[in-house]
A and B are shown apart, each in its own frame.
Chain A
Amino acid sequence: MSATKDKSKVHKLSLKGSSKLVAEFFEYSINSILFQRAVYPPEDFTTVKKYGLNMLITADDQVKAYIRKIMSQLNKWMMGGKISKLVVVITDKETGEHVERWQFDVQIFGKQSKSQRSRASGDKENPSPENADPQTPVEKTEKEIQEEIQAIFRQITASVTFLPVLDGDCTFNVLVYADADSEVPVEWGDSDAKEIKNAEKVQLRSFSTNNHRVETLVSYRLAD
């Protein structure tokens, strides 16, 4: 009896931990993007060791506070499993045009399979391997997860080699694809997807915990 109780407890914690890990990943992603895409000057960033990498995080108090505000809400949503996407949109300040869009798709394994079944059950009798995959998450060690995350950040860093150079002043926005029934604080409001017209898209690596899977996609405006 106690054993089962323990088990459920462990599971609960791991879900929570997984949410935390994903949220943390978002925080570092936002910081990395802000640095790599020069939304803020490089001297505003300091290096910290994380995921076995030197991660750059902003040292600017205002930006820090801004990201902290986003993260505090994001953490709540993550814990509640309300989020399906996080998007960082980089916008040209002068033209207001969206020039780059970093999208992180979040799948929550339990939830995902449920919705899948309800959605698509009538159509097919045998789910393809792609569908089956998220339903049977492989147990991963923290190290494996960290290595996957590491690979993503390496890719984000390396992406400057193919992403077009951003001219001029850019600013950024954070979008969240949240469930319709989520609680929404006043700072957050409905928005369009801020898609990029004529975008080239590059799928980056993904990582998964035992409860979440996060896929990364960058879309950018093609140079014309």
Chain B
Amino acid sequence: MATPTVSTPVKTHHGIFSSKTAGGRMPLTPSPRRRAGSITSNHSSPFTPPRQVEGSKEHGKSVYGGNLSSYFAKSMSRTTRNYRESPKSNIARIRKSPRHLELGVSEWALAGTGPSSAQSPSKERLRKDVTTRTTRSGKTTVRIAHNAGDRFIPNRTASEGLTTAGTAKPEENQRSKASGNEGSTVLANAASAFDIGGRGTEDDITAALENLGIEDNETASTSSSSSYSRPAPDAVAYESSLADACGVNLNTRILAFKPPPPESSKPIDLRAQYNRPLRPAKSKSAQFRRRVQTAPERVLDAPGLLDDYYLNLLDWSSSNQVAIGLERSVYVWSADTGSVSCLLETSPDTYISSVKWSGDGAYVGVGLGTGEVQIWDVEEGTKLRSMFGHDSRVGVMGWSKHTLSTGARSGLVFNHDVRIAQHKVAELVSHTSEVCGLEWRPDGAQLATGGNDNLVNIWDARSLSAPKFTKTNHRAAVKALSWCPWQLNLLATGGGSYDRHIHFWNTTTGARTNSIDTGSQVTSLRWSNHYREIVSSSGFPDNSLSIWSYPTLVRNIEIPAHETRVLHSCLSPDGQLLATAAADESLKFWKVFERKQGTSASASREGGVGSKAQMTKSMTIR
């Protein structure tokens, strides 16, 4: 509706008020820069009633209908007549809308010729609007405009009068006329407020006040009384708030806490702060994003697999063969060729309770329900020897070079030197219930055992008479044990159904360094050789595999792995695949730690580089 020349000020106007007054619904973007140019603000927080402001703005718009230039042109020519007739039409013009526009046109003469015509169109608009209703034989344009503006002045002064203080003298003058004597007292108050609030403006204010006094004398008799007879409620509100503000100011002192604030420890760049990452960027973010296949690579049947948490019936050798104990038989599945062979079958009165490959992958130790431990040469398919000693089933075994450690239901752990006839070289007495977890540290210096007595024992290989540490934190049987491949003294242990925790131990000091509540029975734990991660297999209720980042302990992924609890797991020699056996009688292979092509980070890990490359290849063929 407005011509371009007009429309810009309209926006400005709006911006001013909205930025100052919107209170609770304040938009956070600052108002346009323009305002600072027109108004020099030395003061703060006028109590401007926002609603009124909007009213004035709309009113201004509607009255002058948009064609400002034409108004100007016409008004110029009619100036004199306009002056003469205006006083009489004062009241009528307020009321009668039909004549509104026409009158408005003539009135613009005042604005156009006036000394303050240089002021922004928005003000002129307002002035014009104002003149349509109260006209009198004003002496100057300025005065008339503001006399007429009694209804609007409070709004404007509320925002501008206060903020401008003494700097915009014409406005002060206008304002005083607008509200007459009353107005001037208000202003005086305001001025005194300024006096206190902003000392810099004192001179201006006095000057402004002097002007006020003079102008008031001139104008009060002629016009102001009538226009002030009907102060709008807004004006009342404004004045009271202003007076109130003044009153408060008069009675207060501004006190500053004088001691200087402490120096900042270093210069701060605010921008840097905004760009601060929420947590320090480390290599792990890339790991987070690595994709883990959630479908098994391969599924094999494992009929007759005993659903017994305390047994350890699955192992993967360094020569890439998987041994699994199924009831009375041990089967060896070659990952290279995919061929399966039955290694042995026990006598009908017993069953396989554990299998474990020797470090070189040539032999497999087999624990039986009777307590007998057999060692088989896999290539030959022959039993090398049987070792007796345990009187109860051997649920777990572990090799350290030529030493085979066996844990039995009795709670006893024996170390067997498989090379000599008198094989039993040590008896580790600590557990009072079935030993179901047993893991040598890769360097053979420490042995960790976990039992149904909820204990974790950490043994020093050099003194096996008593455990180095006995950890009682778990509240259920501890089957899952795993030594960290990259930090020798870090051990992870997982508890059973009533515990559900994974604890991480520093086995040098015996301190618990971390814990995870997994939410389900932990049946096995395997560290990744390649990633800073550990995979745990779960029993009830999840039956899943979870991959955790260490040391952040963030669960990167949870794979619903089996239909029933995952009983055993083992990693392939290249560390990429995880084999899991579950009570649903299936053996599944998962690519949980898949390496990108060309990475050789695991070169130093167990197993040779060459053989590993070969294995990787063979596994994809399979």
Chain B contact residue count (CB 8 A cutoff)? 63
| Contact residues, A67-93 vs B (CB, 8 A) | 69-70, 73, 84-85
Interface string of B390-404 (1 = CB under 8 A from A): 000000000000000
Could you say which of A37, A40, A195, A203 contacts B26, with CB atoms under 8 Å apart?
A203
A39, closest chain B residue (CB): B264
B49 engages A178 (CB within 8 Å): no
A103 to B245 alpha-carbon distance, docked (Å): 15
With a CB–CB cut-off of 8 A, which chain B residues contact A176?
A: 254-257
A222 in contact with B264 given A162-B30, A178-B255 (CB within 8 Å): no
B255 engages A116 (CB within 8 Å): no
Q: How many A-B residue pairs have CB under 8 A?
A: 204
A198, closest chain B residue (CB): B36
B-contacting 9-mer, from A9-17, A20-28, A127-135, A138-146: A127-135
With a CB–CB cut-off of 8 A, which chain B residues contact A172?
A: 261
A175 engages B261 (CB within 8 Å): no
A128 in contact with B19 given A62-B262, A66-B261, A217-B45 (CB within 8 Å): no
Chain B min CB distance to A69 (Å): 7
B41, closest chain A residue (CB): A199
Chain A min CB distance to B117 (Å): 25
Could you say which of A63, A120, A126, A128 contacts B243, with CB atoms under 8 Å apart?
A120
A164, closest chain B residue (CB): B30
A198 engages B243 (CB within 8 Å): no
B241 engages A115 (CB within 8 Å): no
B28 engages A161 (CB within 8 Å): yes
Is A124's CB within 8 Å of the partner chain B? yes
Could you say which of B35, B240, B251, B262 contacts A116, with CB atoms under 8 Å apart?
B240
With a CB–CB cut-off of 8 A, which chain B residues contact A222?
A: 33, 36
Is B98's CB within 8 Å of the partner chain A? no
B262 engages A124 (CB within 8 Å): no
Interface string of B233-270 (1 = CB under 8 A from A): 11011011101101110011111111111111111111
B198 engages A38 (CB within 8 Å): no
A119 in contact with B243 given A101-B44, A187-B257, A202-B19 (CB within 8 Å): yes
| Contact residues, A206-224 vs B (CB, 8 A) | 206, 215, 217, 219, 222
A179 to B252 alpha-carbon distance, docked (Å): 4
B198 engages A182 (CB within 8 Å): no
A-side interface size class: 35 or more
B50, closest chain A residue (CB): A203
Is A189's CB within 8 Å of the partner chain B? yes
B29, closest chain A residue (CB): A162
A180 engages B253 (CB within 8 Å): yes
Is B199's CB within 8 Å of the partner chain A? yes
A169 engages B264 (CB within 8 Å): yes
A201 in contact with B236 given A115-B247, A191-B256, A195-B197 (CB within 8 Å): no
B199 engages A192 (CB within 8 Å): yes
A204 to B26 alpha-carbon distance, docked (Å): 7
Is B273's CB within 8 Å of the partner chain A? yes
A184, closest chain B residue (CB): B255
Could you say which of B26, B31, B234, B271 contacts A205, with CB atoms under 8 Å apart?
B26
With a CB–CB cut-off of 8 A, which chain B residues contact A219?
A: 44
Could you say which of A123, A166, A178, A201 contacts B253, with CB atoms under 8 Å apart?
A178
B26 engages A202 (CB within 8 Å): yes
Is B182's CB within 8 Å of the partner chain A? yes
A202 to B258 alpha-carbon distance, docked (Å): 27
With a CB–CB cut-off of 8 A, which chain B residues contact A101?
A: 44
B20, closest chain A residue (CB): A201
A127 in contact with B240 given A195-B44, A199-B41, A217-B45 (CB within 8 Å): yes
B256 engages A175 (CB within 8 Å): yes
A41 to B485 alpha-carbon distance, docked (Å): 40
B199, closest chain A residue (CB): A192
A188 in contact with B258 given A124-B236, A124-B240, A199-B41 (CB within 8 Å): yes
Is B610's CB within 8 Å of the partner chain A? no
B237 engages A128 (CB within 8 Å): yes
B255 engages A175 (CB within 8 Å): yes
Is A147's CB within 8 Å of the partner chain B? no
A158 to B143 alpha-carbon distance, docked (Å): 44
Is A193's CB within 8 Å of the partner chain B? yes
Could you say which of B49, B241, B265 contacts A44, with CB atoms under 8 Å apart?
B265
Interface string of B273-312 (1 = CB under 8 A from A): 1101000000000000000000000000000000000000
A203 engages B264 (CB within 8 Å): no
A128 engages B265 (CB within 8 Å): no
B233 engages A195 (CB within 8 Å): no
Interface string of B1-37 (1 = CB under 8 A from A): 0000000000000000001111110101111010110
B198 engages A193 (CB within 8 Å): yes
Is A42's CB within 8 Å of the partner chain B? yes
Is B97's CB within 8 Å of the partner chain A? no
With a CB–CB cut-off of 8 A, which chain A residues contact B197?
A: 193, 195
With a CB–CB cut-off of 8 A, which chain A residues contact B49?
A: 128, 130
With a CB–CB cut-off of 8 A, which chain B residues contact A195?
A: 42-44, 197-198, 200
A42 in contact with B268 given A66-B261, A119-B244 (CB within 8 Å): yes
Chain A min CB distance to B242 (Å): 9
B244 engages A116 (CB within 8 Å): yes
Chain B min CB distance to A89 (Å): 9
With a CB–CB cut-off of 8 A, which chain A residues contact B72?
A: none
Is B47's CB within 8 Å of the partner chain A? yes
With a CB–CB cut-off of 8 A, which chain A residues contact B257?
A: 69-70, 73, 173-176, 187-188
A38 engages B268 (CB within 8 Å): yes
Point out which of B197, B233, B264 has the most chain A C-beta atoms below 10 A from its C-beta: B264
A217 engages B24 (CB within 8 Å): no
Is B432's CB within 8 Å of the partner chain A? no
A217 to B259 alpha-carbon distance, docked (Å): 25
Interface string of B413-444 (1 = CB under 8 A from A): 00000000000000000000000000000000
Is A48's CB within 8 Å of the partner chain B? no
Is A171's CB within 8 Å of the partner chain B? yes
A115 in contact with B244 given A187-B258, A188-B256, A188-B257 (CB within 8 Å): yes
15 new A-B pairs (CB below 8 Å) besides A63-B262, A161-B28? A69-B257, A73-B257, A115-B244, A116-B244, A131-B240, A169-B268, A176-B257, A182-B255, A187-B258, A195-B42, A195-B200, A200-B35, A206-B24, A215-B45, A222-B33
5 residue pairs bridging A and B, Cβ less than 8 Å apart: A171-B264, A173-B261, A175-B255, A176-B254, A202-B28
Which 10 pairs of residues, A with B, have the shortest CB-CB distance?
A: A128-B237, A191-B256, A62-B262, A119-B247, A120-B240, A38-B270, A38-B268, A124-B236, A188-B255, A174-B257
